[in-house]
Amino acid sequence: MSEKKSFLDHITDFTLKLADPLARFAELPLISAIQNGLVAVMPVIIIGSIFLVLYVLGSGAVGDGNALLPFLAPYASQLVIVNSYTIGFISLYTSITIAMNYGEKLDLNVKTSGLLGLVAFILITQTGGGLDTTAFSASGLFITIVVSALSIRIFKFILDKNIVIKLPDSVPPNIGNVFTALIPYGIVMTIAWFIRTMVNIDLVDVFSNLLTPFILEPMATQDMKSLIVVVLSFLIGLVIYYPFWKQYEKDCLEKESLKNQEA
């Protein structure tokens, strides 16, 4: 007679069943590029968070209004600057790292891909010739992913169709790469400029309006906010961290196998 499983056992079984499909999903080139691109900006996020904590401790933003560490109070306004230009610009940084990683997955020039993602993101979020830095924060992260992915895909499509400016073989590769990228850059930048300037579509605002009825409004209630945070944390953990855990397990098994062979 089989032992009756507890509720926790059922949760574990469900997690394991869900983990493998999500792990395969995470191995797709685009998803892997997004994952690696987000991981690449973790040092920026960590340093920005440290300065944010120092600012909170020295600004009196919590508690009774008095600074928890008074010696930091004179520097509070300076400390928050680092947070503003790190976490406050996180979408701008990820436009580079995601595009670079996706370009690498598609066998494109990594530096050219990163710069293309950055330029496309700036053009798609600019306002009347100026920079809307609010889009550089986490609010523009989804648009960063979409723009970076589409930019690199267009880049790849144009190269595959050989719609490029070719120079003689005697030209140094670094110069040749510049002219090879001219047409893809021109097309991607023109599309981004046309959408934002000529059609006047603010993709960050459009996405926020689409998201509001499904996530932002339900999060107004504390119960739904807690549920959404738990679900999102669970899914993010599976997609981002599970592949690393599987790789760690694989490495451990390989090391154990080598030890057994040597013995």
The pLDDT score that the predictor gives to residue 1 is: 47
For the segment 147-186, what is each residue's pLDDT rounded down to a tens digit?
A: 999 999 999 999 999 998 888 888 888 888 888 899 999 9
State how far the Cα of 209 lies from the Cα of 214, in Å rounded to an integer.
10
The pLDDT value given to residue 238:
56
What pLDDT shows up at residue 241? 59
Within a domain: 209: no
Q: Are residues 125 and 148 in the same domain?
A: yes
Q: Answer yes or no: do 194 and 99 share one domain.
A: yes
**Looking at the structure, do residues 144 and 168 belong to the same domain, yes or no?**
yes
Please give the Cα distance from 83 to 96 (Å, whole number). 19
- Region 20-42: mean pLDDT is 82
Each residue's pLDDT tens digit, 219-233: 555 555 555 555 655
**Number of independent structural domains in the chain:** 3
Residues 122 and 194 in one domain: yes
**37 belongs to a structural domain:** no
DSSP 185-223: HHHHHHHHHIIIIIS---HHHHHHHHHIIIIITGGGSHH
Could you tell me the CA-to-CA distances from 104 to 29, 111, 117, 156 in Å, in that order? 9, 9, 13, 11
Asked, for residue 234, whether it belongs to a domain, the answer is: yes
pTM for this model (two decimals): 0.76
Confidence of residue 111 (pLDDT cuts 50, 70, 90): very high
Task: Find the mean pLDDT for residues 236-245.
Answer: 58
CA 28 and chain centroid, separation: 15
Which spans in 27-162 are helix H? 29-40, 42-59, 76-84, 90-105, 110-125, 141-160
Number of neighbouring beta carbons within 10 Å of residue 100: 27
pLDDT of residue 108: 93
Is residue 238 in a domain? yes
**Is 26 inside any structural domain?**
yes
Whether residue 79 contacts residue 130, with contact meaning beta carbons closer than 8 Å, is answered with no
Those residues with Cβ within 8 angstroms of residue 199's Cβ, 6 or more apart along the chain or in another chain = none
- In this model, does residue 13 exceed pLDDT 60? yes
Q: How confident is the model at residue 7 (pLDDT cuts 50, 70, 90)?
A: low
Q: Is residue 133 located within the same domain as residue 56?
A: no
Highest mean pLDDT (candidates 70-79, 113-122, 195-204): 113-122
The distance between the two most distant Cα atoms of the chain, rounded to a whole number of Å, is 77
Q: Which structural domain, as residue segments, surrounds residue 1?
A: 1-30+217-263
Same domain, 162 and 96: yes
Find which of 71-75, 133-137, 187-191 is predicted with most confidence, using mean pLDDT: 187-191
